[in-house]
A and B are shown apart, each in its own frame.
Chain A
């Protein structure tokens, strides 16, 4: 099973700041990695797929990068709606796996 480790667990930032979230895989997943956002009481939303492709309707301030075992989700300037929990997910091998999540909170 491919284990995804996200860091940090919590990120405390202010509006307008840059958020950088990390996801590290226990073995190479090539570029087969997605990012999701989840707000309290809501279902997750797909943000990024195949490491760097924005899903439909996702703003340009959200970007993804990386390949192999190290991936980054960047939000260039935090807006109020960006404070949430973010998960990475790999599709390289069964079973599909998620990271443990990073919470982005208001400082």
Chain B
């Protein structure tokens, strides 16, 4: 059974940092692109960042470029999101999602999300 499980969320002050993790199981992690998608309270979905299966290519939304870094450790089946210089508008549930087999650019399995709250 495919599972992705996020962790690392919490309350952080503006300007602070946080690292999210996503532990994957039930599939060959190193063969799939992986993504972070967020959802602010009561709002819609916003794509944040993607990494190809090897991690050699990464992509970012303009809203987080230069502040967030996506990475992966295929030996540990884990995806990461390092978030620096956090702002109030980064407050959201952050979902880890697996890319589909035909193209990495759709999301076929999602975790339950981890809440990041940026507030003083």
- A residues contacting B by CB (< 8 A) are 1, 32, 34, 36, 38, 42-46, 49-50, 55-56, 87, 89, 91, 94-101
Check if A98 sits within 8 Å of B100, measured CB to CB: no
Query: What are the 6 A-B residue pairs with the smallest beta carbon separation, nearest first?
Result: A91-B105, A43-B110, A96-B47, A98-B45, A34-B106, A101-B44
Structural contact, A46 and B107, CB atoms closer than 8 A: yes
Nearest B residue to A92 via CB reads B105
- Distance from A53 Cβ to chain B, minimum over Cβ atoms (Å): 9
A95 to B106, Cβ gap below 8 A? no
Additional pairs, 6, CB under 8 Å, beyond known A36-B45, A98-B45: A34-B106, A44-B107, A46-B106, A89-B47, A94-B59, A98-B47
Interface size class of B (residues with CB under 8 A): 20 to 34
| B46 CB–A CB distance under 8 Å | yes
* Given A44-B110, A46-B106, A91-B105: A100 and B59 interface contact (C-beta under 8 Å): no
A87–B45 contact, CB under 8 A? yes
B112 within 8 A of A: yes
Q: Does B111 contact A (CB under 8 A)?
A: yes
Give the chain A neighbours of B59 by CB distance below 8 A: 94-95
Would you give the shortest CB distance from B13 to chain A, in whole angstroms? 27
**CA of A55 to CA of B112, assembled, Å:** 19
Pair B100/A49 contact, Cβ less than 8 Å = yes
Q: Is the CB of A96 within 8 A of B105?
A: yes
| Cβ contacts A to B, 5 pairs, < 8 Å | A43-B113, A49-B106, A95-B60, A96-B105, A97-B47
Q: Which residue of A lies closest to B6 (CB)?
A: A43
The reply to whether the CB of B108 lies closer than 8 angstroms to some CB of chain A is yes
Determine the chain A residues whose CB is within 8 A of the CB of B50 once the complex forms.
96
